[in-house]
């Protein structure tokens, strides 16, 4: 029996048993691993992904957002937060290239219809023409310190310029220090 079949049968049995469909008593199972070839799940295996547009609200990922800090800590003592998603293709940056027509192209063409907008908080949903700011990046650093998670940060390469992407990347990297 391969791993997938084992997991399928184990999950099906647990589902059926939890529904009371089986009239047999529940029998505890003990698994023992022999040898040193076992692998452990890394402590930072937990991860969450948010749309880049969530950064339009600079207070969302902030150490002052106690309920969110508590929620992340409750999920895992260490983890990985990814900021990117489809909205990263149209999220403007306040730094170099802010007035670049290429960067603004993404802001002017139907972004209100992108299905991803319901994935961000209501404050951002009402401000679809926002901008990612250095304040949001600095607050994000404080949030990551508060929850002890790492970050994968997606840059906007769909509209804008290499200088704009470099400026944003430099700001994110500087916040790490």
Residue 102 token pair? 């290429």
What is the domain count for the chain? 1
pLDDT of residue 151: 96
Tell me which residue of 110, 103, 117 sits closest to 52, measured CA to CA.
Answer: 117
In a domain, 27, yes or no: no
pLDDT of residue 72: 94
pLDDT of residue 95: 77
What b-and-e string marks burial along 4-23, b requiring 16 or more CB atoms within 10 Å of the CB?
Answer: eeeeeeeeeeeeeeeeeeee
Determine the structural domain holding residue 155 and report its residue range. 47-176
pLDDT of residue 19: 47
Burial class from Cβ neighbours inside 10 Å (0-12, 13-18, 19+) for residue 137 reads buried
In a domain, 89, yes or no: yes
For the chain of 177 residues, list the mean pLDDT of each consecutive stretch of 10.
Answer: 67 52 70 72 88 91 96 94 84 75 53 66 74 94 96 86 88 84
pLDDT of residue 100: 64
In a domain, 107, yes or no: yes
In a domain, 28, yes or no: no
pLDDT of residue 17: 45
The whole-model pTM stands at 0.70
In a domain, 141, yes or no: yes
pLDDT of residue 22: 55
In a domain, 139, yes or no: yes
CATH of the domain at 101: 3.20.20.80
**Spatial contact of 131 and 92, defined as CB atoms under 8 Å apart:** yes
């Amino acid at each position: 029996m391969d791993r997938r079949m084992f997991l399928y049968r184990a999950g099906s049995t647990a589902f059926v048993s939890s529904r009371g469909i089986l009239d047999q008593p529940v029998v505890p199972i003990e698994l023992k691993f022999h040898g040193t070839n076992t692998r452990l799940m890394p402590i930072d295996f937990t991860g969450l992904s948010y749309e880049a547009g969530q950064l339009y609200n600079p207070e969302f990922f902030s150490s002052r957002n106690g309920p969110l800090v508590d929620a992340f800590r409750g999920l895992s003592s260490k983890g990985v937060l990814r900021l990117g998603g489809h909205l990263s293709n149209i999220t403007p940056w306040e730094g170099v290239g802010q007035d670049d027509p290429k960067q603004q192209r993404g802001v002017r063409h139907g972004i209100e219809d992108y299905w991803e907008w319901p994935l961000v908080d209501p404050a951002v949903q009402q401000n679809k023409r926002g901008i990612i700011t250095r304040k949001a990046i600095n607050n994000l650093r404080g949030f990551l310190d508060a929850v002890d998670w790492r970050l994968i940060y997606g840059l906007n390469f769909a509209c804008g310029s290499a200088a704009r992407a470099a400026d944003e990347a430099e700001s994110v990297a500087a916040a790490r220090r």
